[in-house]
Amino acid sequence: MKKFVPLLLLTLSTFAEASPFPWEKWHTEPSPLLLRELQAYAESSRVGGNLSIAIYSLRHQRFEARANDTDWYTPASCLKLIVTAASLDAFPVNDYPTTTLEVAGTLRGKTLRGSLRVIGGGDPNISDRFFGDALSPLLAWADSIKALGIDTVLGTMDVSDSFFTGPRRPEAWEPHHFDTWYGAEISALS
């Protein structure tokens, strides 16, 4: 986790309401040119035009630049940095989310009488974001079923997205966010 400390320090200091620490003595004014450029960028983007910045030097143990760093904002994408750092620290290096297909029943000729069960594990790759179309990732499953000698399934297809619990969408988000690829509801099958 040590490699993420500077990132977390920078991110967390942005959310502080009022610093209870003696950091004010290290406060230095950021370059006016830098602030103008950053503010122009924030105003020209679609995020709403608010900007806070806090740059802390671990080497010199002081803030090199601070602007509006005690202002409160909805934490949008900044929170992703904290979640990413915590995830990289918590999960094993080669741990990947998976979605599993289970086949159960009896096989008569090339016909399966039973069920196919899709168990979601949070794999974000069942979509058209990384493939030519949304069905491409599922074609490998179809090939696997054919390789078992099955060409017909008589029964049910069950899905489980119980891997994640909790609310499926942030209450504070505006409705138009849910029509975009990044606004998918939280689901083990999203």
Strand, coil or helix: 126: coil
- In this prediction, residue 187 carries a pLDDT of 84
| Rounded distance between C-alpha atoms, residue 89 and residue 95, angstroms | 12
**Predicted local confidence at residue 153, as pLDDT:** 95
Q: How many CA atoms lie within 13 A of 53 on its CB side?
A: 18
- Where do the structural domains in the chain lie, given as residue ranges? 2-90, 100-183
Give how far Cα 57 sits from Cα of 7, 17, 42, 76, 154, Å: 11, 20, 23, 24, 64
pTM above 0.85, yes or no: no
Average pLDDT, integer, range 44-52: 64
Which residues, 6+ apart, have CB-to-CB distance to 142 below 8 Å?
A: none
pLDDT single digits (tens) 32-45: 777 777 767 766 65
Q: Which of the pair, 49 or 179, is modelled with greater confidence?
A: 179
Q: What percent of the chain has pLDDT over 90?
A: 21
Residue 149 has pLDDT above 80, yes or no: yes
